[in-house]
Amino acid sequence: MTTLNSNIPQGNLADKWTTYKSTCKLVNPSNKRKLDIIVVGTGLAGASAAASLGELGYNVKAFCYQDSPRRAHSIAAQGGINAAKNYQNDGDSVYRLFYDTIKGGDYRSREANVYRLAEVSNGIIDQCVAQGVPFARDYGGLLDNRSFGGAQVSRTFYARGQTGQQLLLGAYSTLSRQINKGTVKLYNRRDMLDVVVVDGKARGIIVRNLVTGEIEKHFGHAVVLATGGYGNAYFLSTNAMGSNATPLWRAYKKGAFFSNACFTQIHPTCIPVHGDFQSKLTLMSESLRNDGRIWVPKKLEDVAKLRKRDIKPSDIPEEDRDYYLERRYPAFGNLVPRDVASRAAKERCDAGFGVSHSGLAVFLDFKESIARLGKNVIEERYGNLFQMYEQIINENPYETPMMIYPAVHYTMGGIWVDYDLMTTIPGLFAIGECNFSDHGANRLGASALMQGLADGYFVLPYTISNYLSSEIHTKRIPTDAPEFVQAEKSINEQLAKLMNIKGKQSVDTIHKKFGKIMWEYCGMGRTEEGLKKGLSLVPDIKKEFWTDLFIPGEMNEFNPELEKASRLIDFIELGELMMRDALQRRESCGGHFREEMQTEDGEAKRDDENFAFVSAWEFKGDDNEPQLHKEQLNFEVAKPSQRSYK
Amino acid sequence: MDLTLKIWRQKNSSSKGKFETYKVNDVSPDSSFFEMLDTLNQQIIEKGNDPVAFDHDCREGICGTCSLYINGRPHGPKRGITTCQLHMRSFKNGDTIVIEPWRAKPFPLVKDLIVDRSALDLIIQAGGYVSVNTGGIPDANAIPIPKMNADLAMDAASCIGCGACVASCANASAMLFVGAKVSQLALLPQGKIEAANRVQKMVAEMDHLGFGNCSNTYACEAECPKEIKVTNIARMNRQFMKAKVCAEKHEAASFGG
């Protein structure tokens, strides 16, 4: 049986990574040339890893489902990236970034991993500047910072409201350089459909060429998953349409444990849902909370008039506005962490104070900061976001407050990895959003970009050599080996089975139904009763899928409906695990709010005695329940305390 | 809203394509253009037919995956946005909308409205980067950069690589795309060292891939969803001339000679 060993190095927290780097095993340059590494995904984590491994001299194969590696959804991250540079002289340090991240994650992540993340954060900024990433600067020519939720220092570096784009294009450019040099070979428009395991080790992947429909087999001495999060299980989320959980789910079914599946981040500032035809939700960067104030009316009669459009938001006098975050959390105000801000919005809307026609929206108001700083400053900081908002809602946020509501955004859960970022399948690594590692039960703003690039540029290149040093005698395994042939055969059978359902409903129809179940029972507030109800509905959805789905076209051609169907069944199965995970976690922590477990004033009530662990689920076959393993979390430095932002 | 759509359908690059006409009714003016196409595809699938293939991913105007000529204009009738940000309130009830793929020789057709834009990746691979490896980098504040240069570099770096500039150009020129990358890096001290080499390699690759030349119609700037300025083309031309004329001198300068 697989046992969970996190392989955390001995020694003081602050010395662990330094010790690891000086003592881990290395691969000499002439052997690196003989080793093949597969990297799946070309977002911040995947592109930075593939490029860095190529620079080191390994043979890298990079895969993405998009037409170009530059389009991975990291590109849509807006607000910024954290680093402990302390350029603002406001008291920041590696320790403080570590502490804020552990606390922000509600003490459900590993100290050693998070400390390492904070430690390498500064190098990321240096690296990106050297690549030509045009971060915002002051008039003296030095880098500018902004503040973000959950921190009292300004440590966030940004490039207007397009930080993710600029960082990804930086990583993409270094990746392109390696492609040009021939150390990385790019395979675009490929969906990874399976991991190939030979003698207990990950040795390759099966992919579908999305243009020709051809199934391809690829060998690697190691396989790295950098495939992002699984928020699209909810159908509506801020993820890209193509973002999917299939590589993770197939790895899980091959023996990789899945951790903290229920930890999803519902982001507080998104454009509200406006109709059944809606295909996705759009995020408005959290950085807007630096200058915007969140409120709803104090009086229900004002709410009623607003909804009927009898009055405008500006008609409501100051004394009749409830700036509820400032009221409830005076120390952090509008800059409380995302989970806290989302729940507070839900609480007001549930109490009937939602300001839109649907009742599911609150105001984010810039009137005061425009008066204080001038329209130009606001435009420089957030111009592209304001424009994006106006396109979608057809209202000018310089003149009337934005309407926002929480939406599914990021998944803290993911594949279990040890300190080396290796999963429970030897030779299979998981980096970036797709692992569970650094954000605990709630991710702080501007930390996802930091983690993706930390893993790809600075962590994996060391830890993967530690593994590959013992693989230098392994000859390349030909892809006609029985394990490859068997994996290919079973993928072909699965695809044929999907094509042969020949029912009536489209993929989206079933996905929307399933998404509603997920949002209703595994969304911002979760209860034992609700989760059981949600779980009881899954068999019917699965049955609907396997009997009434319709996929037009053929298997061996460009077929977007087949792609979506293959992803949807994995979302349904993963959604079931998310609800199962949420059910077992009888505590409220971070993004996981169990309504039974709250303090008298409605704050999350964590249970460190019984739940200070990482859940790690082991697949036991399609007809059996998965087995829960627990990795106990030990806090030696950052002692858990009640998380208070008051 | 009730609409008539004329859409280019083509099974793959080797088959012959043609326009098909479709009707969609009860479209909400608040839905996006792609949500309208989703509705159409839902109708097509319900009838058991093959839905219209189109490229899309982030649906928030930043990934650059989406394309489409809509009524003869790349990314539709509004300035400064991508197709995925276009909303149906920009059309009128009863309108007929013509939808075609990008047409440019270096962008071969894949299916229906999808084209292959790998050529743009190849141009970046030829030199659109600063040659630094991971690690061993001096502190990010070691080299101050004038705010104006950083801002101009950021304007150029906003390019999303969608290819609208190529699609809008009578010569299928990629000069705005290349100019934006050359400018971004030439404006920053980190990129200056390789500037001469970079511009020559990227321009050579662009020519090699069959993109045409610029004839100053400025259609690219008008249609660019990120409103990248043609001044970037001028900057690239200056860089290119400088590289050709003072190649040796530049080499010497960059190596301290």
pLDDT of residue A274: 84
Distance between CA atoms of residues A95 and A84, nearest Å: 9
**Per-residue model confidence as pLDDT tens digits over A187-207:** 999 999 999 999 999 999 999
Mean per-residue pLDDT for A89-103?
97
Whether residue A172 has pLDDT greater than 80? yes
The alpha carbon of residue A465 and the mean position of all alpha carbons in its chain are separated, in whole angstroms, by 26
| CB-based contact A68 B53, cutoff 8 Å | no
CB contact under 8 A, B58 and A73: yes
Task: Choose the mutation target among B63, B85, B197 for the interface with A, i.e. most A CBs under 10 Å.
Answer: B63
Q: Say what the pLDDT of residue A148 is.
A: 85
| Residue B130 with chain A: CB contacts under 8 Å | 130-132, 173
Distance to chain A for B74, nearest Cα, Å: 17
Domain at A538, CATH number? 1.20.58.100
Size of interface A-B (CB pairs under 8 A): 217
Region label for B143, one of left (φ > 0), alpha (ψ between -120 and 50) or beta (otherwise): beta
Please say whether the dihedral angle defined by the alpha carbons of residues A520, A526, A530 and A532, taken in this order, is positive or negative: positive
Whether residues A71 and B63 touch (CB distance < 8 A) is answered with yes
Residues A223-277 pLDDT 10s: 999 999 999 999 999 999 999 999 999 999 999 999 999 999 999 999 999 888 9
Please list every residue in chain B whose beta carbon sits closer than 8 Å to the beta carbon of residue A280: 59-60
From A193, A213, A188, select the one nearest A205 (Cα to Cα). Answer: A193
Using CB atoms, pick whichever of A55, A140, A176 lies closest to residue B134.
Answer: A55
- Closest residue, chain A, to B60 (C-alpha): A282
Strands (E), A8-55: 36-40
Q: Taking CB atoms and an 8 Å limit, are A73 and B80 in contact across chains?
A: no
Verify whether the Cβ–Cβ distance A67 to B48 is below 8 Å: no
Question: What percent of chain A shows pLDDT beyond 90?
Answer: 93
* Residues contacting residue A213 through CB under 8 Å, at least 6 positions apart: A554, A555, A556, A557, A558, A559
- Asked if residue A289 has pLDDT above 80, the reply is yes
Tokens for A253?
Answer: 């079914």
Domain termination site, one of A379, A408, A437:
A408
Task: Give the nearest chain B residue to A137 (CA atoms).
Answer: B147
- Shared-domain flag, residues A281 and A402: yes
Instruction: Please answer yes or no on whether B87 and A283 come within 8 Å at the CB atom.
Output: no
**Has residue A157 been placed in a domain?**
no
Contact A132 B153 (CB under 8 A): yes
What chain B holds in terms of domains, given with CATH numbers, is 3-111 (3.10.20.30), 118-254 (1.10.1060.10)
Report whether pLDDT(A284) > 60: yes
Q: Other CB atoms closer than 10 Å to residue A174's CB: what's the count?
A: 27
> So what's the ipTM on this one?
0.96
**Among A134, A173, A277, beta carbon nearest to B28:** A277
Q: Report yes or no on A14 lying in a domain.
A: no
Distance (Å) from the alpha carbon of A553 to chain B's nearest alpha carbon? 6
Q: Which of A363, A389, A408 is the last residue of a domain?
A: A408
Instruction: Tell me if A603 is assigned to some domain.
Output: yes
Q: How many CB atoms lie within 10 A of CB A621?
A: 8
In this prediction, residue B256 carries a pLDDT of 41
Of the candidates A586, A626, A593, which has an alpha carbon nearest to the alpha carbon of residue A607? A586
pTM for the structure as a whole: 0.97
Report CB contact under 8 Å: A68, B161: yes
How many CB atoms are closer than 10 A to CB B231? Answer: 14
- What is residue B16's predicted lDDT score, i.e. its pLDDT? 96
Chain B nearest C-alpha distance from A618 (Å): 32
What distance in Å separates the CA atoms of residue A349 and residue A65, rounded to the nearest whole number? Answer: 38
One-letter amino acid of B64: G
Q: β-strand B3-9 against B96-100: which pairing, if any?
A: parallel
Chain B residues close to A139, C-beta within 8 Å:
147
> Measured between CA atoms, how close is A45 to chain B, in angstroms?
13
Helix axis angle, A507-521 relative to A560-584, nearest 10°? 20
Instruction: Check CB contact under 8 Å for A134 and B157.
Output: yes
B128 closest CB neighbour out of A71, A173, A280: A173
pLDDT digits (tens, 9 = 90+) for A74-89: 999 998 999 999 999 9
Identity at A179, one-letter amino acid code: I
- Number of C-beta neighbours around residue B71 at 10 A: 14
What secondary structure letter does DSSP report for A238?
A: S
Q: What is the mean pLDDT of chain A?
A: 96
Which residues of chain B have a CB within 8 Å of the CB of A138?
A: 147
Of the candidates A363, A386, A408, which is a domain's last residue? A408
**Interface residue of A42, A67, A282 to substitute, partner B, most B CBs within 10 Å:** A67
For residues A391-401, average pLDDT: 94
**A131/B125 CB distance under 8 A:** no
**Residue labelled with tokens 């076959």:** A621
User: Each residue of A485-498: b (16+ CB within 10 Å) or e?
Assistant: eebbeebeeebeeb
A185 within domain boundaries: no
Instruction: Record the tokens describing residue A199, joined without a space.
Output: 């003698």
Q: Are strands A321-322 and A362-365 parallel, antiparallel or unpaired?
A: unpaired
Contact B145 A141 (CB under 8 A): yes
Phi, psi of B223 (to 5 degrees): -100, -10
Please name the member of B30, B111, B161 whose beta carbon is closest to the beta carbon of A70: B161
**Eight-state DSSP code of residue A297:** E
Domain residue limits at A588: 482-613
- Which residues of chain A make contact with B110, given a CB cutoff of 8 A? 211, 558
Q: Over the stretch A463-479, which tens digit does the pLDDT of each residue have? A: 999 999 999 999 999 99
Kindly tell me if the per-residue pLDDT of A457 is higher than 90. yes
Residue A309 sits in a domain whose CATH number is 3.90.700.10
**SS3 label, residue A79:** coil
State what percent of residues in chain A have pLDDT above 70.
Answer: 100
Cβ-based contacts of B183 with chain A (< 8 Å) = none
- Give residue B257's pLDDT: 36
What is the reported pLDDT for B249? 54
The rounded distance, in Å, linking the Cα atoms of A398 and A548 is 48
Please answer yes or no on whether B81 and A391 come within 8 Å at the CB atom.
yes
Q: Taking residues A402-419, report their average pLDDT.
A: 97
**Does any domain span residue A488?**
yes
- The answer to whether the beta carbons of residues A321 and A396 sit under 8 Å apart is no
pLDDT band for position A287 (cuts 50, 70, 90): confident
Q: Do residues B27 and B1 touch, judged by C-beta distance below 8 A? A: yes
A384 inside domain: yes
Domain-embedded: residue A273: yes
CA-nearest residue of chain B to A394? Answer: B30
Number of domains in chain A: 2
Task: For residue B12, list chain A residues with Cβ-Cβ distance below 8 A.
Answer: 557-558
Q: Indicate whether A600 and A487 sit together in one domain.
A: yes
Residue among B201, B203, B231 at smallest CA distance from B216: B231
B90 → chain A, closest CA residue:
A391
Q: Cα separation of A247 and A225, whole Å?
A: 7
Nearest-CB residue to B31 (from A52, A67, A277): A277
Is A545 part of any domain? yes
Q: Strand pairing partners for B97?
A: B5
- The reply to whether A490 and A396 lie within a common domain is no
Residues of B in contact with A141 (CB under 8 A): 144-147, 150
Mutating which of B15, B34, B40, B62 best tests the A interface, going by the most A Cβ atoms within 10 A? B62
d(CA A453, CA A125): 10
Mean pLDDT by 10 residues, chain B (257 residues): 98 95 96 96 95 97 97 97 96 98 97 98 98 96 97 97 98 98 97 95 98 96 98 97 76 46
Instruction: Choose among A230, A237, A236, A233: nearest CA to A259.
Output: A230
For residues B57 and B65, the answer to whether their CB atoms sit within 8 Å is yes
Question: Are residue A494 and residue A392 in the same domain, yes or no?
Answer: no
Contact A162 B111 (CB under 8 A): no
Q: What is the DSSP string of B69-131?
A: EETTEET-SSTT--GGG-BGGGS-TT-EEEEE----TTS-EEETTEE--HHHHHHHHTT-S--
Chain position carrying tokens 């695990």: A577
Counts of helices then strands in chain A (DSSP H, E): 19, 19
Contact between B124 and A159 using a beta-carbon 8 Å cutoff: no
- Which token pair is A43? 């977002």
Distance between A128 CA and the closest CA of chain B, angstroms: 8
Do the chains contact at B63 and A66, CB–CB below 8 Å? Answer: yes
Of A337 and A195, the one with more pLDDT: A195
On whether both A486 and A597 belong to a single domain, the answer is yes
Q: How many Å lie between the alpha carbon of B38 and the closest alpha carbon of chain A?
A: 8
Q: Could you tell me the two tokens for B27?
A: 């479209």
Question: What would the pLDDT profile of A291-302 be if each residue is shown by its tens digit?
Answer: 999 999 999 999
User: Which chain A residues touch B143 with a CB distance below 8 Å?
Assistant: 129
Identify the pLDDT of residue B24.
Answer: 97
